[in-house]
Structure 1
Amino acid sequence: MDRSRRPVLADSSLALLVKGYTWLPDRRRRTDAPLVRTRLMGRHAVALHGPQAVRFFYDERHVERGSALPGPVLSTLFGHGAVHTLDGPLHRGRKGMFLSLLTGPRAVAGVVDAVTADWDETVRSWPGRRIVLFDEASRVLTRGVCRWAGIPLEDGDAVAADLVSLVDGFATAGPRHWRARRARARLEGRLGALVGSVRAGGATAPDGSVLDVVARHRDADGRLLDPRTAAVELLNVVRPTVAVCWFVAYAGHALRRPDVREELRGGDPAYAVAFAHELRRFYPFAPFVGGLAVTDLDWHGEPIPEGAMVLLDLYGQNHDPELWDEPHAFAPQRFLGHPPARDELIPQGGGDPATGHRCPGEDITIALLAALAPRLAGLEYEVPEQDLRIPLNRLPARIRSGFVMESVRVPVPTGQAAPVHTA
Structure 2
Amino acid sequence: MSTLAVRPAASATPVDGAAPPRLTDWDSTLAFRRDPYRFIGRHAVALGTEVFEARLMLRPTLCLTGARAARLFYDPGRFERAGAAPGALQATLFGRGGVQGMDGAAHRRRKALFVALTEPAAVDDLVAQVRQDWQAAWPRPGASAPFSLYDFAQPVLTHAVCAWAGVPLPAAELPLRTRQLVLLFDGAAGGLAAHLRARWARRRLEAWLTRGVEATRAGRPGFRPGSAAERIARHGDTGARPLPARVAAVELLNLLRPVVAVSVYLSLMGQALHVHRGARARLLQPLPDAAEREARRRAFVQEVRRHYPFFPAVAARVRDDFTWQGVAFRRGQRALLDLYGTCHDARAWADPWDFHPQRFEHDERPPPFALIPQGGGDAATHHRCPGEGIASRLMGLVLQMWLDDDGLGWHVVGEPPALRMDRLPALPLGGLIVEPVGRPAGALLA
Pairwise same-fold verdict (TM > 0.5): yes
Q: 2:432 aligns with which of 403, 413, 416?
A: 403
SS of equivalent residue, structure 2 residue 431: coil
1:202-246 superposed Cα distances (whole Å, 9 cap, x missing partner): 215334311110111012383212221111111100100110000
The alpha-carbon deviation at position 258 of structure 1 amounts to 4.5
Cα contact 1:188–1:231 (8 A) shared by 2: yes
1:157 deviates by 2.4
- 2:378 counterpart residue number: 352
5+ unaligned residues in a row in structure 2: which ranges?
1-7, 14-18, 442-446
Do structure 1's residue 177 and structure 2's residue 195 form an aligned pair? yes
2:3 is matched with none
**1:351, CA displacement in angstroms?**
1.4
* Inter-partner Cα distance in structure 2 for 1:79 and 1:173: 19
- What displacement does 1:292 show? 0.6
1:269-418 equivalences under 5 Å are 269-339=294-364, 340-378=366-404, 379-385=408-414, 388-410=417-439
- The answer to whether the 8 Å contact 1:127/1:409 transfers is no
Greater shift, 257-266 or 191-200, is seen at 257-266
Alpha-carbon distance in structure 1 between the residues aligned to 2:49 and 2:396: 39
Cα shift at 1:131: 2.4
Contact 1:146 1:152 (8 Å CA) reproduced: yes
SS at match of 1:96: helix
TM-score by length of 1: 0.91
What does residue 149 of structure 1 align with? 165
Matched, 1:209 2:234: no
Secondary structure in 2 aligned to 1:255? helix
Identity of aligned residues (%): 39
Matching residue within 251, 257, 264 for 1:239? 257
RMSD over aligned Cα, in angstroms? 2.2
The structural deviation recorded for 1:127 is 4.5
2:40 aligns with 24
Superimposed CA distance per residue, residues 267-309 of structure 1 (whole angstroms, 9 cap, x where no aligned partner):
7211121111111111111111111101112111110111111
CA contact (8 A) 1:142 1:238 kept: yes
Q: 2:126 aligns with which of 101, 111, 117?
A: 111
Q: What is the SS of the residue equivalent to 1:67?
A: coil
What residue number does 2:65 align with? 49
Give the match's secondary structure for 2:37.
helix
174, 186, 190: which is aligned to 2:204?
A: 186
Q: What pairs with 1:25-174 in structure 2 (closer than 5 Å)?
A: 25-102=41-118, 104-125=119-140, 127-129=142-144, 130-154=146-170, 155-174=173-192
Query: Residue 301 and residue 258 in structure 1: after superposition, are their counterparts in 2 closer, same or farther (change >3 A)?
Result: closer
Contact 2:299–2:358 (8 Å) recurs in 1: yes
SS class of match (1:394): coil
Structure 1: how far apart are the matches of 2:165 and 2:79?
Answer: 33
Deviations 1:69-121 (A, max 9, x none): 1111011001111111211222111111111101x321221211111111122
TM-score (norm 2): 0.87
Amino acid at match of 1:121: A
Asked whether the equivalents of residues 168 and 223 of structure 2 are also in contact (C-alpha less than 8 Å), the reply is: no
Inter-partner Cα distance in structure 2 for 1:254 and 1:30: 29
Note if contact 2:40-2:65 (Cα within 8 Å) is conserved in structure 1. no
Tell me the amino acid that sits aligned with residue 40 of structure 2: L
1:127–1:90 CA distance, 2 compared to 1 (3 A): farther
- C-alpha distance in 2 between matches for 1:382 and 1:172: 29
**Residue identity matched to 2:372:** I
Conserved 8 A contact 1:387-1:401: no
The answer (yes or no) to whether the contact 1:255–1:377 under 8 Å persists in 2 is no
